[in-house]
Chain A
Amino acid sequence: MSECCTYSQDINTGQSLVAISVDSACAASLQCDIYIQREPNEEPILYRRKSHPLEKADLDRLIKRGIETIFISKSHEATYRDRMYEEVCCDETIAPAERFRVLRDINEAFFEKAFRGGKLDEVVGFSEVLGSQLTEIISRNDLVVEDLLSLMEFDNGTYTHCINVSTYCLLLATHLGISKVEELESIAAGALLHDIGKRQVQLSVLNKPGPLTDEQREHVQRHPLIGFEELSLRGDMNWRQLMIVYQHHERMDGLGYPTGISGDEIHPWARICSIADVFHALTSIRPYRFPLSVSAASVVIGGEMKTAFDSEMVKCWNTIMKTTPCFMA
Protein backbone atom coordinates (compact mmCIF):
# COMPACT_ATOMS: atom_id res chain seq x y z
CA MET A 1 0.00 0.00 0.00
CA SER A 2 1.32 3.43 -0.83
CA GLU A 3 2.00 6.14 1.71
CA CYS A 4 0.38 9.52 1.58
CA CYS A 5 3.08 12.02 2.34
CA THR A 6 3.88 13.01 -1.23
CA TYR A 7 2.82 16.39 -2.48
CA SER A 8 2.42 17.00 -6.16
CA GLN A 9 0.76 19.52 -8.50
CA ASP A 10 -2.11 19.57 -10.95
CA ILE A 11 -0.30 20.50 -14.18
CA ASN A 12 -3.31 22.49 -15.47
CA THR A 13 -4.40 24.46 -12.43
CA GLY A 14 -1.13 24.44 -10.48
CA GLN A 15 -2.94 23.52 -7.26
CA SER A 16 -1.12 21.33 -4.76
CA LEU A 17 -2.16 17.71 -4.64
CA VAL A 18 -1.76 15.27 -1.83
CA ALA A 19 -1.41 11.52 -2.28
CA ILE A 20 -3.65 9.13 -0.41
CA SER A 21 -3.93 5.38 -0.61
CA VAL A 22 -6.66 3.82 -2.73
CA ASP A 23 -7.67 1.72 0.28
CA SER A 24 -8.37 4.72 2.44
CA ALA A 25 -10.14 6.54 -0.43
CA CYS A 26 -12.46 3.61 -0.56
CA ALA A 27 -13.21 3.89 3.11
CA ALA A 28 -13.75 7.64 3.13
CA SER A 29 -16.16 7.80 0.15
CA LEU A 30 -14.42 10.84 -1.27
CA GLN A 31 -16.43 13.63 -2.81
CA CYS A 32 -13.83 15.71 -4.61
CA ASP A 33 -11.81 15.73 -7.83
CA ILE A 34 -9.55 12.68 -8.04
CA TYR A 35 -6.20 12.55 -9.84
CA ILE A 36 -4.04 9.59 -10.76
CA GLN A 37 -0.54 9.04 -12.10
CA ARG A 38 -0.44 6.98 -15.27
CA GLU A 39 3.27 6.28 -14.76
CA PRO A 40 5.16 6.45 -11.47
CA ASN A 41 7.18 9.54 -12.30
CA GLU A 42 4.53 11.43 -14.22
CA GLU A 43 2.56 14.37 -12.89
CA PRO A 44 -0.93 13.32 -11.79
CA ILE A 45 -3.79 13.96 -14.20
CA LEU A 46 -7.50 14.45 -13.51
CA TYR A 47 -9.19 11.07 -13.34
CA ARG A 48 -12.66 11.76 -12.00
CA ARG A 49 -14.54 14.99 -11.29
CA LYS A 50 -16.26 15.58 -7.99
CA SER A 51 -19.63 15.38 -9.84
CA HIS A 52 -18.89 11.70 -10.62
CA PRO A 53 -17.86 10.25 -7.29
CA LEU A 54 -15.71 7.13 -7.22
CA GLU A 55 -17.53 3.86 -6.74
CA LYS A 56 -16.05 0.80 -5.11
CA ALA A 57 -15.83 -0.83 -8.56
CA ASP A 58 -13.69 2.11 -9.85
CA LEU A 59 -11.26 1.67 -7.01
CA ASP A 60 -11.08 -2.06 -7.56
CA ARG A 61 -10.27 -1.35 -11.20
CA LEU A 62 -7.46 1.01 -10.17
CA ILE A 63 -6.02 -1.58 -7.82
CA LYS A 64 -6.14 -4.15 -10.66
CA ARG A 65 -4.13 -1.72 -12.81
CA GLY A 66 -1.53 -1.62 -10.07
CA ILE A 67 -2.46 1.91 -8.96
CA GLU A 68 -2.29 2.11 -5.20
CA THR A 69 -2.18 5.87 -4.82
CA ILE A 70 -4.60 8.55 -5.92
CA PHE A 71 -4.36 12.30 -5.41
CA ILE A 72 -6.75 14.92 -4.11
CA SER A 73 -6.27 18.68 -3.89
CA LYS A 74 -4.53 19.93 -0.79
CA SER A 75 -7.59 22.03 0.04
CA HIS A 76 -9.60 18.81 0.43
CA GLU A 77 -7.11 17.19 2.76
CA ALA A 78 -8.78 18.38 5.94
CA THR A 79 -12.23 17.24 4.77
CA TYR A 80 -10.73 13.90 3.79
CA ARG A 81 -9.24 13.47 7.23
CA ASP A 82 -12.53 14.41 8.89
CA ARG A 83 -14.43 11.92 6.74
CA MET A 84 -11.89 9.24 7.49
CA TYR A 85 -12.33 9.90 11.11
CA GLU A 86 -16.14 9.90 11.00
CA GLU A 87 -16.56 6.93 8.71
CA VAL A 88 -13.75 4.70 9.78
CA CYS A 89 -12.38 5.59 13.17
CA CYS A 90 -15.77 5.84 14.83
CA ASP A 91 -17.09 2.71 13.17
CA GLU A 92 -16.92 0.04 15.81
CA THR A 93 -17.89 -2.64 13.33
CA ILE A 94 -14.40 -2.27 11.82
CA ALA A 95 -11.69 -4.06 13.79
CA PRO A 96 -9.50 -1.67 15.85
CA ALA A 97 -6.36 -2.77 13.99
CA GLU A 98 -7.94 -1.98 10.63
CA ARG A 99 -9.18 1.38 11.93
CA PHE A 100 -5.67 2.13 13.04
CA ARG A 101 -4.19 1.17 9.67
CA VAL A 102 -6.47 3.71 8.00
CA LEU A 103 -5.61 6.25 10.66
CA ARG A 104 -1.96 5.75 10.00
CA ASP A 105 -2.54 6.50 6.34
CA ILE A 106 -4.05 9.80 7.32
CA ASN A 107 -1.13 10.44 9.56
CA GLU A 108 1.54 9.80 6.95
CA ALA A 109 1.24 13.34 5.61
CA PHE A 110 2.49 14.61 8.94
CA PHE A 111 5.79 12.81 8.60
CA GLU A 112 6.68 15.16 5.80
CA LYS A 113 6.14 18.12 8.09
CA ALA A 114 8.07 16.49 10.89
CA PHE A 115 11.11 16.02 8.70
CA ARG A 116 11.23 19.48 7.18
CA GLY A 117 14.52 19.92 5.40
CA GLY A 118 14.92 16.22 4.77
CA LYS A 119 14.86 14.58 1.38
CA LEU A 120 11.38 13.44 0.65
CA ASP A 121 12.08 10.01 -0.81
CA GLU A 122 14.27 9.15 2.16
CA VAL A 123 11.63 10.46 4.50
CA VAL A 124 9.16 8.08 2.92
CA GLY A 125 11.64 5.24 3.28
CA PHE A 126 12.23 6.07 6.90
CA SER A 127 8.58 6.33 7.78
CA GLU A 128 7.83 3.14 5.89
CA VAL A 129 10.30 1.09 7.90
CA LEU A 130 9.56 2.44 11.34
CA GLY A 131 5.94 3.18 10.55
CA SER A 132 5.23 -0.38 9.52
CA GLN A 133 7.04 -1.69 12.60
CA LEU A 134 4.89 0.60 14.67
CA THR A 135 1.71 -0.35 12.88
CA GLU A 136 2.37 -3.99 13.58
CA ILE A 137 3.07 -3.32 17.22
CA ILE A 138 -0.08 -1.30 17.57
CA SER A 139 -2.23 -3.68 15.61
CA ARG A 140 -1.36 -6.44 18.02
CA ASN A 141 -2.68 -4.45 20.93
CA ASP A 142 -6.34 -3.54 20.73
CA LEU A 143 -6.28 -1.47 23.88
CA VAL A 144 -3.52 0.76 22.53
CA VAL A 145 -5.49 1.18 19.32
CA GLU A 146 -8.57 2.19 21.26
CA ASP A 147 -6.56 4.75 23.17
CA LEU A 148 -5.05 6.15 20.00
CA LEU A 149 -8.42 6.43 18.35
CA SER A 150 -9.77 8.30 21.32
CA LEU A 151 -6.68 10.51 21.34
CA MET A 152 -7.25 11.35 17.69
CA GLU A 153 -10.87 12.14 18.41
CA PHE A 154 -9.70 14.45 21.17
CA ASP A 155 -6.93 16.28 19.32
CA ASN A 156 -5.24 15.34 16.08
CA GLY A 157 -2.08 17.23 17.02
CA THR A 158 -1.60 15.19 20.20
CA TYR A 159 -2.28 11.97 18.31
CA THR A 160 0.29 12.83 15.63
CA HIS A 161 2.78 13.83 18.29
CA CYS A 162 2.41 10.48 20.06
CA ILE A 163 2.93 8.51 16.85
CA ASN A 164 6.07 10.51 16.06
CA VAL A 165 7.48 10.32 19.58
CA SER A 166 6.96 6.59 19.58
CA THR A 167 8.82 6.30 16.25
CA TYR A 168 11.73 8.36 17.63
CA CYS A 169 11.78 6.26 20.80
CA LEU A 170 12.10 3.11 18.70
CA LEU A 171 14.91 4.71 16.75
CA LEU A 172 16.82 5.85 19.84
CA ALA A 173 16.22 2.63 21.77
CA THR A 174 17.54 0.56 18.87
CA HIS A 175 20.68 2.71 18.62
CA LEU A 176 21.18 2.44 22.37
CA GLY A 177 21.50 -1.30 21.89
CA ILE A 178 18.08 -2.46 22.96
CA SER A 179 17.53 -5.35 20.61
CA LYS A 180 14.91 -7.59 22.19
CA VAL A 181 11.77 -7.31 20.10
CA GLU A 182 9.49 -7.51 23.16
CA GLU A 183 11.34 -4.64 24.82
CA LEU A 184 11.23 -2.49 21.70
CA GLU A 185 7.53 -3.19 21.32
CA SER A 186 6.96 -2.38 24.92
CA ILE A 187 8.80 0.95 24.62
CA ALA A 188 6.91 1.86 21.44
CA ALA A 189 3.53 1.07 22.99
CA GLY A 190 4.38 3.01 26.18
CA ALA A 191 5.55 6.00 24.14
CA LEU A 192 2.39 5.93 22.04
CA LEU A 193 0.40 6.55 25.20
CA HIS A 194 2.87 8.89 26.90
CA ASP A 195 0.52 11.89 26.58
CA ILE A 196 -2.75 10.03 27.06
CA GLY A 197 -3.39 12.17 30.15
CA LYS A 198 -3.77 15.21 27.90
CA ARG A 199 -7.30 14.09 27.14
CA GLN A 200 -8.19 15.62 30.51
CA VAL A 201 -6.72 18.99 29.57
CA GLN A 202 -9.02 21.53 27.92
CA LEU A 203 -8.29 21.86 24.21
CA SER A 204 -8.34 25.66 24.45
CA VAL A 205 -5.49 25.41 26.96
CA LEU A 206 -3.59 22.70 25.10
CA ASN A 207 -3.63 24.66 21.85
CA LYS A 208 -3.42 28.14 23.34
CA PRO A 209 -1.25 30.33 21.09
CA GLY A 210 0.05 32.57 23.89
CA PRO A 211 1.82 31.83 27.17
CA LEU A 212 -0.15 29.87 29.76
CA THR A 213 -1.24 31.34 33.09
CA ASP A 214 0.21 29.66 36.19
CA GLU A 215 -3.06 27.85 36.76
CA GLN A 216 -3.22 26.63 33.15
CA ARG A 217 0.39 25.43 33.29
CA GLU A 218 -0.34 23.57 36.52
CA HIS A 219 -3.28 21.94 34.80
CA VAL A 220 -1.26 20.89 31.72
CA GLN A 221 1.52 19.59 33.93
CA ARG A 222 -0.87 17.13 35.52
CA HIS A 223 -1.07 15.06 32.33
CA PRO A 224 1.74 12.56 33.20
CA LEU A 225 0.06 11.87 36.52
CA ILE A 226 -3.41 11.54 35.03
CA GLY A 227 -2.09 9.21 32.32
CA PHE A 228 -0.27 7.09 34.88
CA GLU A 229 -3.37 6.81 37.10
CA GLU A 230 -5.58 5.85 34.21
CA LEU A 231 -3.25 3.23 32.75
CA SER A 232 -2.11 1.74 36.04
CA LEU A 233 -5.70 0.98 36.99
CA ARG A 234 -6.24 -0.87 33.74
CA GLY A 235 -3.41 -3.28 34.37
CA ASP A 236 -2.36 -3.97 30.77
CA MET A 237 0.80 -1.84 30.90
CA ASN A 238 3.95 -3.00 32.64
CA TRP A 239 5.76 -0.84 35.18
CA ARG A 240 8.43 0.32 32.71
CA GLN A 241 5.75 1.53 30.31
CA LEU A 242 3.97 3.30 33.14
CA MET A 243 7.24 5.04 33.96
CA ILE A 244 7.38 6.39 30.38
CA VAL A 245 3.96 7.92 30.93
CA TYR A 246 4.66 9.20 34.44
CA GLN A 247 8.25 10.41 34.11
CA HIS A 248 8.65 11.68 30.53
CA HIS A 249 8.73 15.30 31.74
CA GLU A 250 11.26 14.67 34.51
CA ARG A 251 14.71 16.13 33.89
CA MET A 252 18.12 14.74 34.79
CA ASP A 253 18.86 17.99 36.69
CA GLY A 254 15.73 17.59 38.83
CA LEU A 255 13.89 20.57 37.35
CA GLY A 256 11.14 18.56 35.69
CA TYR A 257 7.69 17.45 36.76
CA PRO A 258 5.62 15.90 38.29
CA THR A 259 8.04 14.75 41.02
CA GLY A 260 11.25 16.66 40.36
CA ILE A 261 13.44 13.56 40.63
CA SER A 262 16.85 13.50 39.01
CA GLY A 263 19.48 11.21 37.44
CA ASP A 264 19.05 7.49 38.03
CA GLU A 265 15.74 8.02 39.77
CA ILE A 266 14.28 8.53 36.31
CA HIS A 267 13.58 5.27 34.50
CA PRO A 268 15.80 4.80 31.40
CA TRP A 269 12.75 4.34 29.18
CA ALA A 270 11.36 7.67 30.40
CA ARG A 271 14.76 9.26 29.61
CA ILE A 272 14.52 7.93 26.05
CA CYS A 273 11.01 9.31 25.73
CA SER A 274 11.97 12.74 27.09
CA ILE A 275 14.51 13.26 24.28
CA ALA A 276 12.08 12.01 21.63
CA ASP A 277 9.32 14.16 23.10
CA VAL A 278 11.34 17.39 23.13
CA PHE A 279 12.80 16.70 19.69
CA HIS A 280 9.35 16.31 18.20
CA ALA A 281 7.99 19.32 20.07
CA LEU A 282 10.83 21.47 18.76
CA THR A 283 10.59 20.30 15.14
CA SER A 284 6.81 20.39 14.78
CA ILE A 285 4.38 23.24 14.33
CA ARG A 286 3.06 24.43 17.66
CA PRO A 287 0.35 27.02 18.26
CA TYR A 288 2.88 29.33 19.87
CA ARG A 289 5.93 29.08 17.58
CA PHE A 290 7.42 27.97 14.28
CA PRO A 291 9.16 24.60 14.05
CA LEU A 292 12.94 24.34 14.28
CA SER A 293 15.03 22.51 11.71
CA VAL A 294 16.51 19.15 12.71
CA SER A 295 19.95 20.69 13.22
CA ALA A 296 18.62 23.65 15.26
CA ALA A 297 16.65 21.23 17.45
CA SER A 298 19.77 19.12 17.99
CA VAL A 299 21.65 22.24 19.06
CA VAL A 300 18.96 23.01 21.65
CA ILE A 301 18.92 19.42 22.97
CA GLY A 302 22.70 19.19 23.17
CA GLY A 303 23.18 22.81 24.30
CA GLU A 304 20.80 24.94 26.34
CA MET A 305 18.71 21.93 27.43
CA LYS A 306 21.54 19.48 27.91
CA THR A 307 21.23 19.26 31.68
CA ALA A 308 17.69 17.99 31.18
CA PHE A 309 18.74 14.80 29.42
CA ASP A 310 20.88 11.73 29.89
CA SER A 311 24.16 12.79 28.29
CA GLU A 312 24.90 9.34 26.81
CA MET A 313 21.49 9.26 25.20
CA VAL A 314 21.97 12.76 23.79
CA LYS A 315 25.28 11.64 22.27
CA CYS A 316 23.54 8.68 20.69
CA TRP A 317 20.69 10.89 19.44
CA ASN A 318 23.16 13.32 17.84
CA THR A 319 24.86 10.43 16.07
CA ILE A 320 21.50 9.33 14.71
CA MET A 321 20.82 12.88 13.51
CA LYS A 322 24.16 13.01 11.75
CA THR A 323 24.07 9.58 10.17
CA THR A 324 20.42 8.89 9.29
CA PRO A 325 19.85 10.34 5.80
CA CYS A 326 16.35 11.67 6.35
CA PHE A 327 17.51 13.85 9.25
CA MET A 328 20.45 15.31 7.37
CA ALA A 329 19.68 18.69 5.80
Chain B
Amino acid sequence: MLEYDNEDDPMLYGIVNHLRCDIMIPPCLSNFFDKKKSGVVMADDRRRYKRWNFRNLGALEIRQSFTDLERHTCWCRIYIKDISIGGVSFLHSEQLFPMEQMRILFPKKSLEPIFKGRDRNIIEVKRCRKRGQRCYEIGAQFVEEFRDQSG
Protein backbone atom coordinates (compact mmCIF):
# COMPACT_ATOMS: atom_id res chain seq x y z
CA MET B 1 0.00 0.00 0.00
CA LEU B 2 1.29 3.44 -0.91
CA GLU B 3 1.82 5.86 1.94
CA TYR B 4 0.33 9.28 2.03
CA ASP B 5 -0.25 12.09 4.46
CA ASN B 6 -3.83 12.20 5.73
CA GLU B 7 -3.54 15.07 8.21
CA ASP B 8 -4.69 17.73 5.78
CA ASP B 9 -8.35 16.76 5.53
CA PRO B 10 -9.20 13.57 7.48
CA MET B 11 -12.88 13.68 6.53
CA LEU B 12 -12.13 13.80 2.83
CA TYR B 13 -9.66 10.93 3.24
CA GLY B 14 -12.37 8.95 4.92
CA ILE B 15 -14.56 9.33 1.85
CA VAL B 16 -11.80 9.00 -0.73
CA ASN B 17 -10.54 5.79 0.84
CA HIS B 18 -13.87 4.14 0.13
CA LEU B 19 -13.86 5.05 -3.54
CA ARG B 20 -13.04 2.61 -6.24
CA CYS B 21 -9.43 2.82 -7.40
CA ASP B 22 -8.07 0.71 -10.25
CA ILE B 23 -4.78 2.52 -10.67
CA MET B 24 -1.76 0.25 -10.92
CA ILE B 25 1.35 2.16 -9.96
CA PRO B 26 4.23 1.13 -12.23
CA PRO B 27 7.63 0.43 -10.61
CA CYS B 28 9.02 3.72 -11.92
CA LEU B 29 6.49 5.60 -9.75
CA SER B 30 6.72 3.41 -6.63
CA ASN B 31 7.95 6.33 -4.52
CA PHE B 32 5.10 8.49 -5.75
CA PHE B 33 3.99 9.48 -2.25
CA ASP B 34 7.52 10.11 -0.97
CA LYS B 35 7.06 12.90 1.62
CA LYS B 36 10.21 14.64 0.44
CA LYS B 37 8.50 15.29 -2.86
CA SER B 38 5.53 17.20 -1.49
CA GLY B 39 5.61 20.98 -1.40
CA VAL B 40 8.67 21.40 -3.60
CA VAL B 41 8.32 24.02 -6.32
CA MET B 42 8.88 22.50 -9.73
CA ALA B 43 11.09 24.48 -12.06
CA ASP B 44 9.66 25.01 -15.52
CA ASP B 45 10.08 28.43 -17.07
CA ARG B 46 7.51 27.79 -19.79
CA ARG B 47 4.63 27.42 -17.34
CA ARG B 48 2.42 30.36 -16.60
CA TYR B 49 1.97 29.46 -12.95
CA LYS B 50 4.36 28.08 -10.36
CA ARG B 51 3.74 24.36 -9.93
CA TRP B 52 4.00 22.55 -6.59
CA ASN B 53 4.58 18.91 -5.97
CA PHE B 54 1.51 17.78 -4.09
CA ARG B 55 1.46 14.04 -3.59
CA ASN B 56 -1.94 13.24 -2.19
CA LEU B 57 -5.20 11.42 -2.69
CA GLY B 58 -8.15 12.96 -4.48
CA ALA B 59 -11.53 12.11 -5.92
CA LEU B 60 -12.66 12.49 -9.49
CA GLU B 61 -16.23 12.53 -10.69
CA ILE B 62 -16.30 10.95 -14.14
CA ARG B 63 -18.89 12.64 -16.34
CA GLN B 64 -19.86 12.44 -19.95
CA SER B 65 -18.46 15.31 -22.01
CA PHE B 66 -18.72 13.97 -25.57
CA THR B 67 -21.94 12.55 -27.00
CA ASP B 68 -20.04 9.74 -28.77
CA LEU B 69 -17.86 8.80 -25.79
CA GLU B 70 -19.91 6.93 -23.24
CA ARG B 71 -18.97 7.66 -19.64
CA HIS B 72 -20.91 6.39 -16.64
CA THR B 73 -21.10 9.02 -13.96
CA CYS B 74 -19.23 7.82 -10.88
CA TRP B 75 -16.62 8.91 -8.37
CA CYS B 76 -13.21 7.28 -8.21
CA ARG B 77 -10.00 7.69 -6.30
CA ILE B 78 -7.08 9.42 -8.01
CA TYR B 79 -3.51 10.22 -7.00
CA ILE B 80 -2.67 13.91 -7.19
CA LYS B 81 0.85 14.62 -8.46
CA ASP B 82 1.31 18.36 -8.69
CA ILE B 83 -0.74 21.47 -8.60
CA SER B 84 -0.71 25.16 -9.49
CA ILE B 85 -3.26 27.92 -9.33
CA GLY B 86 -4.14 27.13 -12.96
CA GLY B 87 -4.19 23.35 -13.04
CA VAL B 88 -3.48 19.98 -11.58
CA SER B 89 -1.88 16.73 -12.69
CA PHE B 90 -2.87 13.34 -11.32
CA LEU B 91 -2.80 9.61 -11.92
CA HIS B 92 -5.93 7.80 -13.03
CA SER B 93 -6.65 4.24 -14.12
CA GLU B 94 -8.20 5.15 -17.45
CA GLN B 95 -7.35 7.18 -20.47
CA LEU B 96 -9.07 10.57 -20.46
CA PHE B 97 -9.37 12.74 -23.55
CA PRO B 98 -8.62 16.43 -24.00
CA MET B 99 -11.66 18.68 -23.44
CA GLU B 100 -13.32 16.20 -21.07
CA GLN B 101 -14.60 18.05 -18.03
CA MET B 102 -14.91 16.55 -14.57
CA ARG B 103 -15.32 17.47 -10.95
CA ILE B 104 -12.29 17.02 -8.69
CA LEU B 105 -11.85 16.98 -4.93
CA PHE B 106 -8.59 17.08 -3.03
CA PRO B 107 -7.43 18.32 0.38
CA LYS B 108 -7.04 22.07 0.08
CA LYS B 109 -6.08 23.21 3.57
CA SER B 110 -2.35 23.20 2.95
CA LEU B 111 -2.90 24.79 -0.47
CA GLU B 112 -4.66 27.84 0.95
CA PRO B 113 -1.61 30.12 0.43
CA ILE B 114 -1.75 29.21 -3.27
CA PHE B 115 -5.49 29.19 -3.91
CA LYS B 116 -6.39 32.04 -1.53
CA GLY B 117 -10.02 30.97 -1.22
CA ARG B 118 -10.65 30.43 -4.94
CA ASP B 119 -12.86 27.50 -5.94
CA ARG B 120 -10.92 24.81 -7.69
CA ASN B 121 -13.41 22.00 -8.26
CA ILE B 122 -13.89 21.64 -12.00
CA ILE B 123 -11.20 20.58 -14.44
CA GLU B 124 -10.81 20.28 -18.17
CA VAL B 125 -8.38 17.63 -19.37
CA LYS B 126 -5.51 19.06 -21.41
CA ARG B 127 -3.21 16.08 -21.89
CA CYS B 128 -2.97 12.42 -21.00
CA ARG B 129 0.07 10.18 -21.04
CA LYS B 130 0.11 6.47 -20.32
CA ARG B 131 2.58 5.65 -17.57
CA GLY B 132 1.85 1.93 -17.30
CA GLN B 133 -0.90 -0.65 -17.29
CA ARG B 134 -3.99 1.04 -15.77
CA CYS B 135 -1.99 4.17 -15.01
CA TYR B 136 -2.42 7.40 -16.94
CA GLU B 137 -0.98 10.74 -16.01
CA ILE B 138 -3.52 13.46 -16.66
CA GLY B 139 -2.80 17.16 -16.94
CA ALA B 140 -5.84 19.34 -16.46
CA GLN B 141 -6.77 22.97 -16.18
CA PHE B 142 -9.14 24.40 -13.60
CA VAL B 143 -12.22 25.96 -15.16
CA GLU B 144 -14.96 28.03 -13.58
CA GLU B 145 -17.92 26.00 -14.81
CA PHE B 146 -18.94 23.09 -17.02
CA ARG B 147 -19.20 23.72 -20.73
CA ASP B 148 -22.74 23.86 -22.06
CA GLN B 149 -23.39 20.47 -23.69
CA SER B 150 -26.49 21.56 -25.55
CA GLY B 151 -24.78 23.04 -28.56
Contacts and interface: CB of A to CB of B under 8 A. Distances in A.
B80 to A, nearest CB: 20
A258 B96 CA distance: 12
Given A228-B98, A265-B95, A238 B68 contact: yes
A213 to B, nearest CB: 13
B101 to A, nearest CB: 12
Contacts of B68: 238-239
Contacts of A260: 129-130
Nearest to A257: B129
B127 A225 contact: yes
A22 B139 CA distance: 53
A256 to B, nearest CB: 10
Nearest to A228: B98
A261 B130 contact: yes
A235 B67 CA distance: 10
- For the residues of B in contact with A, the DSSP-based class is loop
Contact of B66 (A239, A258, A261): A239
Contacts, number: 33
A229 B130 contact: no
A309 interface: no
Interface string B58-74: 00000000101100000
Contacts of B66: 232, 239
A233 to B, nearest CB: 7
Interface residues of B, number: 13
B75 interface: no
Contacts of A261: 95, 130
B137 to A, nearest CB: 10
Most A Cβ at <10 Å: residue of B68, B127, B128, B136: B68
A311 interface: no
B130 A232 contact: no
Nearest to A226: B98
A228 B69 CA distance: 14
Contacts of A225: 98, 127
B99 A259 contact: no
Given A225-B98, A259-B95, A239 B69 contact: yes
Contacts of A80: none
A260 B66 CA distance: 22
For the complex of A and B, the 5 pairs showing the least CB-CB separation, nearest first, are A239-B68, A260-B130, A259-B128, A229-B98, A232-B99
12 contacts: A228-B97, A239-B68, A246-B97, A258-B127, A258-B129, A259-B128, A259-B129, A259-B130, A259-B136, A260-B129, A261-B95, A261-B130
Interface of A: 225, 228-229, 232-233, 235, 238-239, 246, 254, 258-262, 265
Given A239-B66, A259-B129, A261-B130, 7 more contacts: A228-B98, A229-B98, A232-B66, A233-B99, A246-B98, A258-B127, A261-B95
